[in-house]
Structure 1
Amino acid sequence: MAGRQITVVGECVADAFVERDGARPGELALRVLPGGGPANTAVALARLGTPTRFVGRISADPFGELFRAHLAGSGVDLTGTVAAAEPSTLALAALDGEGRATYSFHAEGTADWQWTGAELAAARADGSVCLHTGSLALVRDPGGPRIEELLAAARPYATVSIDPNVRPLLAAPEQYRRRLDHWCELADLLRLSEDDLHILLPGTTPEDACDRWHAAGARLVVVTLAERGALASLDGHRLRVAAPVTHVADSVGAGDSFTAGLLHSLAAQGHLGGRLDSLTPDELERACTFAARVAARTVAVPGANPPWADDL
């Protein structure tokens, strides 16, 4: 099992969706679902059949209980989690008419960012072929720099995957820009959305962005383009994959599911555990096409609820 295991490091977030129907006068009705980019990716990986370990700081509050049940119920190994005294992070999400979510965050002093070096030691040399992280846990202090140290320590034995998952309401874009070149030095795979690109490098085409991040050190860069599919660049060799036509309930968790599908396929093809040296363009196209299918199944249902292997 450990030969294909992927470890995911990062946050869990309680996604509270405003319920337009059903609230009585004077009330705000919320439906709370488990979320957080890294946690979503771990759930999607495990449901696809990849042995997955999640390393996160999970609160003992009711949201934390929800996170643990969701992750464990999806088959994620939680032996690397920390029982945190701090409260859970909460994101209040409102959906527009096209299912796109806008968020407000309640994240000051919450469990997800308070990493110590000793806590992260559980993720070192654990037999995984890949270490994936990103999102807020990687950019917020005090934990972000400690996760960067973990990535550097993991490189001798594991492929490193990073999804910046830019959240400008919680971390200024300049914080991401200042650290992104260093992340590219650490990462073999950088996956981000077109929205992330517009925030990080306004006015830059996906192709030019790929070249910039290749020069900084990332060997494989994938930019997801919503209904237009994805652009992948392997050492500058470009390919595009289409997004399957699907009804969109909402876009929550789409990018996280794409990342999971991509990593799952790369693991199944035997390409994780090093610097992606043996990966060919045809194999990358196969992985990205599968990832697009996983993302399409995720956007077809409300919330970050990725498909199981049998669903595909």
Structure 2
Amino acid sequence: MIVVAGEALVDLVPTAQGTLAPRLGGGPYNVAVAAGRLDAPVGFLSRISTDPFGDRLVDRLHAANVRTDLVQRGPEPTTLAVVGLTDDGSARYSFYVEGTADRQVTDPGPLPADVRAVSFGTLSLVLEPGASTYERVLWREAERGALTVLDPNIRAGLIRDPRAYRDRYDSWLPHVGLLKVSVDDARWLAELPEDAPEAHVLDVVRDWRGAGPAAVVLTRGGDGLAVLTGTGEVISVPPAPVNVVDTIGAGDTVQGSLLAWLDDHDALSTGAVRSMDAGQWAEALTFAGAAAAITCSRAGAEPPFKRELGMT
């Protein structure tokens, strides 16, 4: 089984009528839904409110065939994210996070023995006290030998001490089996200028891979996907054609669909990820890019079902 650990929240997304529509989301939550809709055996680890939003979040997990054995419930409110869209459909976020349920997650202890991979990222590794809880799970599962997968998915406005966060990020890398990061997030983490060439980003990514991860997947927006493999080779695939409505959940869909592909190809281990060849990576990235394109073609984080990718 795959476990996705982190926050579940509600995005308030602009509509054509100028109002804000609630959409269920949160980076890790979207990853779990994306993997579940692709029929991967996935469970979600989080704390979710008992308010009406929380009930809808849990119902949607069930509808996506995501197990909720590790979901904790509490009376704290659901986190809200107000989304602003730029002209190209990219999303900007402001958050209401004080005293919300997902921050209060408690340590579940060792995960079940059949858990082969655990995915982490986004707000859950920023906001305390939950961040320290998820960090302990990351260390423990890496020590146990599970494939640990990280997408930092930076929300800079919530990181009060960037230097401390960057140091903490560096401390995670030796415990991470597969790292996924966007070009923009890599620039922020490495303190590169926003217009730094991708070649400079790749230099940084090589250093990160040397610190621990078996491979690093790089999301490049309209330029497609790339990976720095276990042998140091860079494999790139072009983006799938799409009419973009918005990009909410696109990176999360990449993460979830990669996990589903690895599961389907019996590659949910650090060793298997490290030994993947160029052809396998091209197939995996093409699959993830096709899934993300479908998400971008509709409003909010709505990852595709398996049938939408021509699979049975």
**Fold equivalence (TM over 0.5):** yes
8 A Cα contact 1:124 1:153, kept in partner: no
**1:279 and 2:276 equivalent?**
yes
8 A Cα contact 2:126 2:158, kept in partner: no
- 37, 43, 52: which one pairs with 1:53? 43
- Count of aligned pairs: 299
- Report what 2:229 is aligned to: 234
Moved more, 294-303 or 94-103: 94-103
Superposed CA offset, 1:211-233 (max 9, x none): 11012212211110011001200
Partner Cα separation in structure 1 for residue 4 and residue 217 of structure 2: 18
Shift in Å, 1:277? 4.2
**1:178 and 2:163 equivalent?**
no
- Identical residues among aligned pairs (%): 35
Partner Cα separation in structure 2 for residue 52 and residue 281 of structure 1: 27
What are the within-5 Å matches in structure 2 for residues 208-247 of structure 1? Answer: 208-235=203-230, 236-247=232-243
Structure 1 residue ranges (4+ consecutive) displaced by more than 3 angstroms after TM superposition = none
8 A Cα contact 2:50 2:73, kept in partner: yes
Superposed CA offset, 1:44-67 (max 9, x none): 000011011001100011211121
What are the within-5 Å matches in structure 2 for residues 260-299 of structure 1? Answer: 260-275=256-271, 276-299=273-296
Residue identity matched to 2:213: A
Give the secondary structure class of the aligned counterpart of 1:190.
strand
Partner Cα separation in structure 1 for residue 15 and residue 268 of structure 2: 41
- Report what 2:136 is aligned to: 149
Shift in Å, 1:274? 3.9
- Report what 1:43 is aligned to: 33
Superposed CA offset, 1:165-208 (max 9, x none): 10011124334311111121111111011221222121462311
Partner Cα separation in structure 2 for residue 114 and residue 101 of structure 1: 26
- Report what 1:26 is aligned to: none
Shift in Å, 1:10? 0.4
- Report what 2:303 is aligned to: 306
What are the within-5 Å matches in structure 2 for residues 18-37 of structure 1? Answer: 18-21=14-17, 29-37=19-27
Shift in Å, 1:40? 0.1
Give the secondary structure class of the aligned counterpart of 1:169.
helix
Give the secondary structure class of the aligned counterpart of 2:48.
strand
What are the within-5 Å matches in structure 2 for residues 68-107 of structure 1? Answer: 68-107=58-97
RMSD: 1.5
Give the secondary structure class of the aligned counterpart of 1:93.
strand
**1:124 and 2:75 equivalent?**
no
TM-score, with normalisation over the residues of structure 1?
0.91
Give the secondary structure class of the aligned counterpart of 1:56.
strand
Give the secondary structure class of the aligned counterpart of 1:212.
helix
Unaligned runs of 5+ residues in structure 1 are 24-28
Shift in Å, 1:70? 1.4
Partner Cα separation in structure 2 for residue 290 and residue 207 of structure 1: 22
Shift in Å, 1:115? 2.5
- Report what 1:256 is aligned to: 252
TM-score, with normalisation over the residues of structure 2?
0.91
